[in-house]
Structure 1
Amino acid sequence: MSDQPSRPHLTTIAARSGEFATPVSSAPLVEPIYQSTVYAFPDLEALEAGVAGQPDAYFYYRNATPNGSTLERAIAALEGTDAAACASSGMAAISAAFLSVLGAGDHIVTDERVYGVTYALLRDELPRLGIQVSFVDALDLEAVAAAFRPTTRLLHVESLTNPLMTVADVPRLAERAHAHGVLLSVDNTFASPAVFRPAEHGADLITHSLSKYLSGHSTAFGGVVAGRAELVAAARLKLVRLGGTVSAFDAWMTMQGLKTLGLRMRAHSGNAQAIADVLQNHPRVKRVYHPGLESHPQFRLADGLYPEGFGGMLSLEVEDAPTFVKRLAGRIPLAPSLADVVSTLSHPWSTSHRALSEADRRRLGITPELLRFSVGIEDISDLLEDLEGALV
């Protein structure tokens, strides 16, 4: 009888090939994609560490991945928070933030101008769970304070609203909320931490859609919740239990875009400001919504809170909007998203705020003539030439 171990069968060799690869001696410059749904452990003690959530002891794809953890650390550093938890979409992040704080019998106060799908979540879904919702004008600080109840747990606003670019007074909203024992949640998607960091002004929870400025190229999908460690841990638990965690590939793709966030946002902000300055005086343009214009109702507030620029978003009403959109086809496309490096137009009436009734849309200033303009990083002279050509 031979002392040599028998050679495994071909089927065994094929099944196990590559499964126990050893690390290379040099380090990759870019983090690899860890596209494994599960991790193996050498013993029960190591398994317990993984299941318990010990850092860098990964267990199962739904719980955490190395790529997701890398992105979370980066976003927490950018926002200046203790921690962050990535989600499968912006709405998953907002849902986790809400459900980690709210339960049956609790109450949330929210700005009436929030993103249309957030509005639908608050109007239709949370009440089904026994959570009461009050919509208020968050620009009216007295109305916000008057809406608080003994059961209020959360106040939710957007740093810059979609699509009319109103500016939340986050420092004063935080003061009002905290005086009543209420947490402040801020959707910072339109601004990004490159131009505004809500935690520095008192916000407790910050959310983003990763597919917007943080990624910046319309190639990755996801969301994120950032804030104090205990609040993020509670949101992460909701994401794990409800199946809302981000994929490794989307996290990796977002990291590639995140590296140029500061450079991109300077270009976005500069271009948007230049376009707003020109369009506000154009005879074919009825109105421009951009916080960098002195005509904007919250210009002084924005100028104090946003010293590095106002981001790349603006909205406008033009004469004959359908013709304007058609004339820009092939140069500035009509696309129902935002924050790409290329400029895009969107029609909030039929996309982002479709879930609202016609009466509510009109009451909030969202009309069929309104167009949202996500200003890209192209050369400003080319963008102005495109716009001037479409406005003849």
Structure 2
Amino acid sequence: MFGLELTTVWFVLIAVLWIGYFALEGFDFGVGMLVPVLARDETERRVMINTVGPVWDGNEVWLLVAGGATFAAFPEWYATLFSGFYLPLLLIIVALILRNLSFEYRHKGDTAAWRARWDAALIGGSFLTAFLWGVAFANIVAGVPIDADKEFTGNLFTLLNPFGLLGGVVLVLLFLTHGAMFVALKTDGEIRHRARALAVRIGLAAAVVAVVFLVWTQVQTGSVGSAVAFVVAAVCLLAGIGAAAAGREGWAFLGTFLTIALAVGGLFLALFPDVMPSTTSAAFSLTTTNAAATPYTLEIMTWVAVAFTPIVIGYQTWTYWVFRKRISTHHIPTADLAAARG
């Protein structure tokens, strides 16, 4: 019985890790996609990149821990997911690598062509990752063909169904809105005002598409808990858009943060107690019990999580506090500007 309880605990913990990843990494994906839209020159591009420069790598820790926790707590889920979704997950890893390299190497060259290539890696990597995560999670929740041996029997085109593609579009739009809110919160001057206005426009489009997706999810596989989460997520998004229109960037960013957190949480509520439903037969679905590790493994993991999770959260909170101030074009050193123009 204790083991069964721990399977639910670890399902919740993995949901929290994915919520943290999407709510935090979501805004720096959004910033990456918005570089060619909001920045009018090299100085403003530097400002935008610097808004996420101190935190993007810390945000990705949530992904690494979520993947590791899934491997240890639900090995059958991990095996089916990572073998069946091999190609899209490989594309996500490649996109993340290119995106992360852009942060490290963009400033190491002095030519406009060099910076343009790394900007393309940042923009493309951010967009592709956001879109494919949306496709992947939509399919996980809706279900995929899994046989009696717990093996995925579909292919890449199985995942590129209308529901999956809509999930990808929703996540891109939410991340764009979240990123624009973050730029408005973290910058000053003209770029701040452009970001705030853009956040309102993209946010309205995101609200329409997200409502369609969440209603579709609820009809297909929802629960009472997911319905509540989805409704509150929609309210938070509208409140965030309203706050942005009123010039309240802090509240606006909180609105999109809660929107993503509640929407992802609602997807996990719709999924539970399955971890990967089978469209072939309900008897073949992976659940929190038949996909879980041994009770002893879960018990050890729980003690490790209790010890180290507060440390990780505390450190990341401290990082955000240290880099909390706004930045603008006058914070870019003059020597750097001269090199950029050269």
* Higher Cα radius of gyration: 1
The question of a shared fold, defined as TM-score above 0.5 by the shorter chain, is answered with: no
Q: Indicate the structure whose relative CO is greater, using CA pairs within 8 Å and at least 6 residues apart.
A: 2
TM-score category (smaller protein)? under 0.3
Question: What TM-score does the superposition give when structure 2 sets the normalisation length?
Answer: 0.25
Question: What TM-score does the superposition give when structure 1 sets the normalisation length?
Answer: 0.23
